[in-house]
Amino acid sequence: MRYLLVLIYVGLLAACESPQAESESSAPSNILNPTNEVVLHSEVKWTALNPARGAKGPRAANLWGDRTKAGPTGFLVQFVDGFSSPPHIHNVTYRGMVISGLLHNDDPQAEKMWLPPSSFWTQPAGEVHITAASGSKNIAYIEIDGGPYLVLPTEEASDKGERPVNIDASNIVWLDASKLKSIDQPKISTTSNGVEIAFLWGKPRGNQLHGTLLKLPAGFSGKILSQGPVFRAVVIGGELAYQMPEESEKKALEAGSYFGSTGEAVHTIASRATEEVLIYIRTNGEYEILQSTE
C-alpha cells in the first residue's frame, strides 16, 4: 500500500522560519520491538474519584499512569446529570477535554459557561472552583503532569501564579496546509475536509512536552509515525480503527479510548467513511501523518 505524507508535525508554528517539510517521509514504516499500547474505553476500571462524595460523586478510570501515585497520569472522569461540586481545590494543576455532555468549571460565583464536547480547559493548583455537569452522559479526559491527584478543602487555597483557561470547542483554532508551514498536503485538499491540527498547550519545540488536537476527516486511512519518548493519544470524538503492529485485526477505539508508545512507533489508523475523528495528543517529539493513496 502506498502513502502520501499529509502532515509533518515538526514542532514549529507557521511564523517560524523553518523550511517547508519534504513531501516524502524519511521515518521508518516498520519498528523492531514495537511499544504500541491500546486501552479501550469499554475496558477501563471505574472507581470513585473522591470516595467522600458517595454514589453521586464522579467516577474515574485511569487510561495511562496512576492518578493516586507520583508521576504524570491521564484518566477519564464521569459525572451524573446535574452534578455540581462544592467549592474545592486540587493539589496539582490539571488539563481537561470534554468528551461527551456539557461541563462547567469556574469560580464558585461565576455564571455557568457550559463547555460542549471537544472543549478544552485547565484548572490551576490551589485555586478555588466548582465543577458541574449537564447531560445524560458526561465524560471528560483529565491529565496531570505529576500526582497524586487530590481534592482538598478551600482553606488550603493558594495562588501559585497560574491562571485558568476555558476554550469552547467553537473557539479552537484549526490550522491546515494553507496556514501552517509544517503541514504538507500534496494533491490533498487544504479545505476543512483535510487533516487539521490545533495547538493547545506547551511549546512544540525540541523535546518539550506539548498538547495538540488532531482532526482526521471522514474516510481517512493511514498512519501516525511518532518519534518522541512520550506519545499518548486519546480519542475525543468519533471512532478510530486501530491496527496493532503484526496484527491483522483492527480494534475499534470509541471516544474515551487511548493509544500510545515510547520511542519511534507506527500507529496504523482509519476513520469511518461518514465521521471525522478528533484525537488529543501529548508528546515531547515530532510526529507525522501519512494518508493511504490506495
Tell me how far apart the alpha carbons of residues 126 and 47 are, in angstroms, rounded to a whole number: 24
Tell me how far apart the alpha carbons of residues 11 and 287 are, in angstroms, rounded to a whole number: 9
Global pTM exceeds 0.85: yes
| Model confidence at 32: pLDDT above 90 | no
User: Is residue 96 within 8 Å of 149, Cβ to Cβ?
Assistant: no
Over residues 30-50, mean pLDDT: 91
263-289 b/e (C-beta count within 10 Å ≥ 16 → b) = ebbbbbbbbeeeebbbbbbbbbbbbbb
Tell me how far apart the alpha carbons of residues 166 and 121 are, in angstroms, rounded to a whole number: 4
Over residues 229-249, mean pLDDT: 95
More confident residue, 178 or 260: 260
| Model confidence at 125: pLDDT above 50 | yes
Tell me how far apart the alpha carbons of residues 168 and 20 are, in angstroms, rounded to a whole number: 31
Tell me how far apart the alpha carbons of residues 262 and 254 are, in angstroms, rounded to a whole number: 22
Nearest to 58 by CA among 173, 149, 159, 144: 149
| Model confidence at 127: pLDDT above 70 | yes
How confident is the model at residue 13, as a pLDDT? 36
Please name each of the domains of the chain with its CATH number.
3-40+172-292 (2.60.120.10), 44-170 (2.60.120.10)
Peptide bond into 148 cis (omega under 30): yes
Tell me how far apart the alpha carbons of residues 116 and 101 are, in angstroms, rounded to a whole number: 6
The dihedral over CA atoms of 245, 37, 261, 266, expressed in degrees to the nearest 10, equals 20
pLDDT digits (tens, 9 = 90+) for 64-102: 999 999 999 999 999 999 999 999 999 999 999 999 999
* Strands laid side by side in the 210-216 sheet: 37-39, 258-261, 231-237, 277-283, 210-216, 196-202
Tell me how far apart the alpha carbons of residues 109 and 128 are, in angstroms, rounded to a whole number: 10
Over residues 43-72, mean pLDDT: 91
Structure confidence at residue 205 as a pLDDT band (50, 70, 90):
confident
The percent of residues above 90 in pLDDT, for the chain, comes to 70
Over residues 266-275, mean pLDDT: 95
| Model confidence at 255: pLDDT above 50 | yes
Residue 38 cell numbers, joined: 491500546
| Model confidence at 203: pLDDT above 50 | yes
More confident residue, 192 or 152: 152
| Model confidence at 7: pLDDT above 80 | no
More confident residue, 98 or 7: 98
How confident is the model at residue 77, as a pLDDT? 98
